[in-house]
Amino acid sequence: MKSLFTALLMVLFIVPSIHSQSNSETDIHTHIDKLMQHCYDYQMFNGTILVTQDGKEIYSNALGYADKHNNRKLNKTTSVYLASVSKQFTTMAVMLLKDKGRLSYSDKLSKYYPEFPEYANTVTIRHLMNHTSGIPDHYRLGIYKPGLSNKDVFETLLKQELDFKPGERFSYSNGGYVLLAMIVAKVAEQPFHEFMKANIFEPLGMKNTLVYDESKPEIKDRAVGYDANGNLDDYNIFTTGAGGMFSTIHDLHLWDQALYSDKLVSKATLDEAFTPAKLNNGDYTQYGFGWGVSENDGKKTVQHSGGLAGYRTFLRRNLYDNSGYIILTNHGNLTNLRPILGALDAILEGEAYEMPKVPISAKLAKLLSHDDAISAIEKVNELIKTNPSNYEIDENGVNALGYEYMGKEDLKTALAIFKFNVENNPSSSNPYDSLGEALLASGDTIQAVKNYKKSYELDKSNTNAIDVLKRVGIDTSAMTKTIAVPTKVLDSYVGNYELQPNFILTVTREDDRLFIQATGQGKIEAFPITESKFYSKVVDAQITFHKADSGEVNSLTLHQNGDHKAPKID
């Protein structure tokens, strides 16, 4: 099955080959260029990047294609969809209106939209900005469709109850940000995109930035979106506030530098935006007004990621030394982005850094250009055996390569690739599904059935496996029985699990349902396969909880493009 992987959970892959460096601007430029060329050469990066130090641009580049089907390359002025990086601009619009005395952060949602249920009297603009409102994330409500508009989101949210009491906890809500854009338009008495252009983009000279909505503005040199497998996955909705913006690396540099001044709002207003929200119980979140906030040894950093359709974006600002970077990509493989970010952070700090692992799919593809499948896979297996730290066995990439050969009607090679993927990702569902499809195409129904059954066993959301099994005459009734996990067991899983530093998976229980939320991402429900293993219906991922000898749950393993263990930290 072609994976519909979306970036709700992110995994960091790095290798132990250490690169040392000095702190000069020339050396930093050289190291960044070496890093980015490495990632581009091995199909880990397709996009634009700009890096700053002391407020100055010290590196920028465009690598890959804006539109690969028309052979149009990216350049530094290519406009890319920002996804959730747009949120910081939405909160700036609110801050502008606040500084002008036209609204207050304490204003209730009911003041602007009294048609909401009674709870709107308890939800403030501040709650909406820092994701503590309890307003549901509309993507979790299953309303995504081509042409989705703010009106569609608004009408859906009107029918919902709050997920929790406002201020009780942090829960990422795109729906809350759609409401913020609507409030801005109502207060300003002009369309949201016009307000943004007149009050932010034009004053800062951001000539290649706009809000894309139902007016369908023309976008010059726009990057087309592709999924992790290289298939068209372009932006096709009209919602604003939570996303909706297109921009370039140079325009975003203008934005970044403006936030070190009072060009738009006062320093006091900006300081508050970069301050984590305080919950009702006195605890602090890691999110301000449209920015993730972290501070280590007195050094504060604000940042935000974005991901929708084939676009993955990231903007980081180190407030302590006016350095940072902007990354805009149009090839949706976020698992490849995180090691790049880790290396960039180290380079800017003058620390030793580690080159990202080479995806084994890229190496296998090169070998297959001149070797037969058996020889190529033997060579790849030898590389993995002798240099395991240098390669990432990237499940999605290998899967895409298999389908590439199926598209060429080279079923023998496709089967070999899918078998290789199963052997190297035995705990993941999708490789078995893909192998089952290829086996079925080759006429081997018996082995195809075995693989489809295994795929469903590992991922109960794989309805494709059930449909295929039914189509070939297999009774699936015993396979699809619902499993109930006692609430006492679910409670034992509740807590925070550290997948990587500053990247936490938070597990919560609501009644008899378990939820997982990754840092800076939306909350998703986890459904039981067994009492200790769960799966998601919105991403191709499973989670297994582990117990110590004492019987206490002490870690989990995320099964997503490999197996990744996360210890329980509280």
DSSP code at position 47: E
Q: What are the φ and ψ backbone dihedral angles of 534, each rounded to 5 degrees? A: -130, 160
Supply the pLDDT for residue 542: 84
Give the per-residue SS3 of 421-451. Answer: HHHHCCCCHHHHHHHHHHHHHHCCHHHHHHH
Q: What are the φ and ψ backbone dihedral angles of 504, each rounded to 5 degrees? A: -115, 140
Q: What is the pLDDT of residues 312-363, one digit of tens each?
A: 999 999 999 999 999 999 987 655 687 899 999 999 999 999 888 888 998 8
Kindly state the tokens that stand for 343.
Answer: 């290396």
Bridge partners of 308, per DSSP, are 311
To the question of domain 83-332 being in CATH 3.40.710.10, the answer is: yes
- How far apart (Å, rounded) are the C-alpha atoms in residues 378 and 471? 35
Same topology between domain 83-332 and domain 360-453: no
Supply the pLDDT for residue 16: 37
Supply the pLDDT for residue 347: 93
Among candidate residues 504, 522, 538, the one with its CA nearest the CA of residue 176: 522
- How far apart (Å, rounded) are the C-alpha atoms in residues 251 and 76? 10
Supply the pLDDT for residue 504: 84
Kindly state the tokens that stand for 16.
Answer: 């132990």
Q: What is the pLDDT of residues 192-235, one digit of tens each?
A: 999 999 999 999 999 999 999 888 899 989 999 998 767 888 99
Residues 6+ apart with CB under 8 A from 335: 7, 10, 11, 13, 394, 396, 561
Q: State the fold for domain 487-567.
A: Lipocalin (2.40.128)
Q: State the fold for domain 360-453.
A: 1.25.40
Bridge partners of 332, per DSSP, are 227
- pLDDT tens, per residue, the chain with 570 residues: 544 333 333 333 333 344 555 567 788 999 999 999 999 988 889 999 999 999 999 999 999 999 999 999 999 999 999 999 999 999 999 999 999 999 999 999 999 999 999 999 999 999 999 999 999 999 878 788 999 999 999 999 999 999 999 999 998 899 999 999 999 999 999 999 999 999 999 999 999 999 998 888 999 899 999 987 678 889 999 999 999 999 999 999 999 999 999 999 999 999 999 999 999 999 999 999 999 999 989 999 999 999 888 999 999 999 999 999 999 999 876 556 878 999 999 999 999 998 888 889 988 988 998 999 999 999 999 999 998 888 988 888 899 899 989 988 999 999 999 999 999 999 888 999 999 999 999 999 999 999 999 999 888 878 889 999 999 999 988 887 778 999 999 999 999 998 876 678 999 999 999 999 887 667 889 989 889 999 887 777 889 999 999 999 999 999 876 678 899 988
Q: What is the pLDDT of residues 145-199, one digit of tens each?
A: 999 999 999 999 999 999 999 999 998 899 999 999 999 999 999 999 999 999 9
Contact 133, 165 (CB under 8 A): no
- How far apart (Å, rounded) are the C-alpha atoms in residues 291 and 220? 28
User: How does strand 331-332 pair with strand 226-227?
Assistant: parallel
Among candidate residues 515, 529, 546, 511, the one with its CA nearest the CA of residue 460: 529
Residues recorded for the chain: 570
Spans of all domains in the chain? 83-332, 360-453, 487-567
User: Is the CA virtual torsion 258, 262, 267, 269 positive or negative?
Assistant: negative
Contact 287, 127 (CB under 8 A): no
**Which of 79, 84, 361, 461 is an active site residue?**
84
Catalytic (active site) residue 84: yes
83: left (phi over 0), alpha (psi -120 to 50) or beta: left
